[in-house]
Structure 1
Amino acid sequence: MTTTYAALLRGINVGGKKKVPMAELRALLESLGHGAVRTHLQSGQAVFTSGHGDEESLAAEVTGAVERRFGFAVDVIVRDHAYLRSVVDACPFPAAELEPRQLHVTYFSAPVDEERFAGVDRSAHLPEEFRLGDRALYLYAPDGLGRSKLAEQLARPRVNKGVVATTRNWNTVTKLVELTAP
């Protein structure tokens, strides 16, 4: 049985660094034996089918292959359609009422708990706010991610210590659900 996955590559093609052409990424995933490979945007989303492995082993496989091919390390999170759909369904904010640039999801490689964010003064950043989900953090940033002071706090190494974290805007979050649908 094959499963459709999304691979989320962290920090590629940003500011001219860690360049990974999407055509080459597709070819790389195909060379690993994955099928129905597609990419979305230039910022590190690939969708593929696989009949072997699990999310963690597939992420390690893609991470290793990218490093061998492009010569630099890239963190990768792999998630299946059911998980991606559950993230959308569990959104604690009124996504339909917001502009997609106002809502973001940070995917984590492992579960995180509230204690990790104890040092973040939530009231100092209002009306921005965040809520935790299943290996995900939902961020409401009414002025967008680029102007978000809360996003800066949430991206600090001490907050993300020991986990891979990568953020996508709501348009990308919902597009990945669509692209991985059976």
Structure 2
Amino acid sequence: MNNQVDARGLSCPKPVIETKKVLDGLKEGSVTTIVDNEVAMQNVSKLAKSLNYNVDVKKVDKDYYVHIYKGEGNEEIDCQCEEERDLVILFKSDTLGEGSDELGKILMKGYVYTLTEYTPYPKALLFMNSGVKLTVEGSEVLDYLKQLEREGVELLSCGTCLDYFHLKEKLAVGSVSNMYSIVDALHSAKNRLEL
């Protein structure tokens, strides 16, 4: 049976996430993801290859049809999920990357959204400096962070940073923390990532 994902017009990372959802629910068969740009085609193809599935891409007019085959002979790569879950991410800014703040906010929103769709979830998310702006009222990623918190991800915002930006009363997800707790969470984690 061939499943189809029409991801035309969807921005990154949604074509990959929608394809992964269908693949996760499929024991055997194929998935065809239709995308309207080369970057999305490459990203969906990379996903399939990273899972050890066969991939065939055809271009029809301006669209790309990414055919992914899941079945016998395709052994999905197994992960050490408990070890991968021991990941702590430190958000040092409310933007991702350097250069354009506008682009950085778009990238951060995409990154946090992707965290809600990617398992295993991190153990904890830590917020310092302007990163605390992600956890307060009006944040564009607030719903995603609340979803992660419901899934058991610990969210800690630096109290000194919240005070500095006059945001302590506006904290909308997670809890106020201190430097000792943040250092302890970073040092006790097997895997750390700083953004």
TM range (shorter): under 0.3
Structure-2-length-normalised TM-score: 0.22
Q: Give the structure with higher Rg (CA).
A: 2
